[in-house]
Each structure stands twice: as structure tokens, then as C-alpha cells.
């Protein structure tokens, strides 16, 4: 005798499967979105290194931008099954980008997609470069004995945003209601808040802080000439 399938149970079972699928889909989308911040930070930094090398003048800006996009997508696909936000150190070796005597295959793959041979890219990057791309943190080291510098730290970004929000709220609440002579007060407040890191007595010379200030400075193309010393090191 054939078993009779209860339509209500069948529908309930399928609704449950659909719900589980949607939950997993949302989780995957969030993970990919989260990963994109880290891989984009890494790709931006690597392209900046290429721009700092005078030999890269033969490569157009458009080609470098296409290489950056190809690298982001290559890293995203490669890390898709090796990304563990709950255990950031897990799989760190797999996600590590390494340039020493030979070129990292991930960079070779991304370069090949845009017509930049791996051997050519190898001449543009530092001879010794290691980069770790982990959930919530991206760090790198130039040279075998160089210091490990943090390029992106989600915790510090969140802390900075929180401080700026608190400072903004404090400034708003402390602004006098009187409309008489508002300019001096606003000017003074602006002066005090423009450089909190250099006036609070803390030492910004540590690797992490110095790299962050340097990378923010590098974001302005007008200041690129100030990095000729770094370019000479990269090309050595």
C-alpha cells in the first residue's frame, strides 16, 4: 500500500526549506559584502605600490584600474570558501599574498586577465612583500625583517567613527543658542577638533598609526610627489 503524503505536511516542509535557504542566502550576501571591504583595501594598496614605481609609467591608469577590479574579483572568488569571520586566523595562510623569489599566483592570475604578465608585475612590486587579508584586518610587511603594519582594522575604524559621532554630538549640544558672535566659537571648536591625534599627547610614531596617516595622505593625488623616497625603495 502506497504511503499517502499529507499536503499540509508537504507544504510545511517546503516552506521550512525555503526559509532556511533565504537565511543562508542573506548570510552569504553579508559575508561577501563584508569581505569586499578587506579585499578592496588590499587591492587599493597594491595598486598604489605599482603607481609609486617609476617603471609603471608604461602602464596606463585605465589598465591599473582594470587590474585593481580584476584583483578584487579574483580574491573574492578565491576566499569565498576560506573566509571565517568568527575565527579570523583560520585560513590566514591560504589568504596570504607573498612575493619573494617568485610572484604570487593570485597576482599573476589577476594580471593575466588584463594583459599584465606576472614577470612584468614582479619587477614593479617590492622584491619582498607579504600581505595578510583576514576578516576585519589587513596587514602587510615589506622586506623579510620589516615591521608588520596594519592597513585596515575594522575595530579601529568603528572606534574612530564612534569618537567622531560623540564629538559631533558634544559640539552640537555645547553650541550656544544665542546668535551673537557665533564665528569665534565655531572657529575655535574647528581648530581644536582638526588634529586630535597630534594634540592629545599620544605618540603616533607606532607602525599602525604612521601607516594609517601615510595611507590617508596618499589618497590625495596632489601629494604623490612626497613619496619619491618610497618609490625608490619599491623599485629597489
For the segment 76-90, the average pLDDT, to the nearest whole number, is: 94
Q: Could you give the domains of the chain?
A: 20-163+208-234 (3.90.640.90)
Q: pLDDT at position 188, please?
A: 36
- Edge to edge, the sheet with strand 129-134 lists 97-99, 129-134, 137-142, 149-153
Quote the strand ranges of 89-187, DSSP E. 97-99, 129-134, 137-142, 149-153
Q: According to the model, what pLDDT value does residue 4 have?
A: 56
Q: Among candidates 131, 120, 127, which has minimal Cα distance to 93? A: 131
pLDDT tens sequence across 128-172? 999 999 999 999 999 988 999 999 999 888 888 888 888 887 776
Nearest to 120 by CA among 106, 130, 108: 108
Q: Which of the four pLDDT bands, split at 50, 70 and 90, describes residue 20?
A: low
The DSSP secondary-structure symbol of 176 reads -
d(CA 178, CA 110) in angstroms, rounded, equals 59
Q: What's the rounded Cα separation, in Å, for the pair 26 and 53?
A: 41
Environment class of residue 111 by beta-carbon count within 10 Å: exposed (0-12), middle (13-18) or buried (19+)? buried
Q: What is the pLDDT of residue 104?
A: 97
Q: What is the pLDDT of residue 195?
A: 36
Asked whether the whole model's pTM tops 0.85, one would answer: no
For residue 194, give the 3-state DSSP assignment.
coil
Q: Which residue has the higher pLDDT, 94 or 169?
A: 94
Confidence of residue 16 (pLDDT cuts 50, 70, 90): low
- Beta-bridged to residue 134, according to DSSP, are 137
Average pLDDT (88-113) is: 95
Which residue has better confidence, 175 or 228? 175
CB 119 within 8 A of CB 103: yes
pLDDT at 208: 39
Beta bridge partner(s), residue 140 = 131, 149
Encode 60-116 in three state secondary structure: CHHHHHHHHHHHHHHHHHHHCCCCCCCCCCCCHHHHCEEECCCCCHHHHHHHHHCCC
Amino acid at each position: 500500500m502506497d504511503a499517502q503524503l499529507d499536503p499540509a505536511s508537504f507544504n510545511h516542509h517546503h516552506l521550512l526549506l525555503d526559509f532556511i535557504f533565504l537565511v543562508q542566502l542573506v548570510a552569504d550576501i553579508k559575508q561577501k559584502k563584508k569581505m569586499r571591504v578587506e579585499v578592496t583595501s588590499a587591492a587599493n594598496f597594491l595598486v598604489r605600490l605599482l603607481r609609486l614605481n617609476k617603471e609603471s609609467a608604461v602602464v596606463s591608469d585605465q589598465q591599473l584600474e582594470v587590474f585593481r577590479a580584476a584583483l578584487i574579483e579574483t580574491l573574492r572568488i578565491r576566499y569565498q570558501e576560506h573566509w571565517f569571520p568568527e575565527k579570523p586566523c583560520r585560513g590566514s595562510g591560504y589568504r596570504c599574498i607573498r612575493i619573494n623569489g617568485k610572484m604570487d599566483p593570485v597576482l599573476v592570475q589577476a594580471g593575466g586577465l588584463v594583459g599584465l604578465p606576472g614577470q612584468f608585475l614582479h619587477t614593479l612590486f617590492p622584491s619582498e612583500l607579504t600581505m595578510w587579508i583576514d576578516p576585519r584586518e589587513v596587514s602587510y610587511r615589506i622586506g623579510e625583517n620589516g615591521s608588520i603594519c596594519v592597513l585596515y582594522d575594522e575595530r579601529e575604524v568603528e572606534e574612530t567613527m564612534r569618537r567622531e559621532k560623540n564629538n559631533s554630538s558634544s559640539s552640537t549640544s555645547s553650541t550656544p543658542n544665542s546668535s551673537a558672535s557665533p564665528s569665534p566659537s565655531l572657529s575655535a571648536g574647528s581648530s581644536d577638533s582638526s588634529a586630535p591625534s597630534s594634540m592629545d599627547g599620544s605618540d603616533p610614531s607606532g607602525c599602525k598609526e604612521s601607516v594609517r596617516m601615510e595611507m590617508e595622505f596618499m589618497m590625495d593625488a596632489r601629494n604623490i610627489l612626497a613619496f619619491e623616497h618610497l618609490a625608490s625603495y619599491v623599485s629597489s
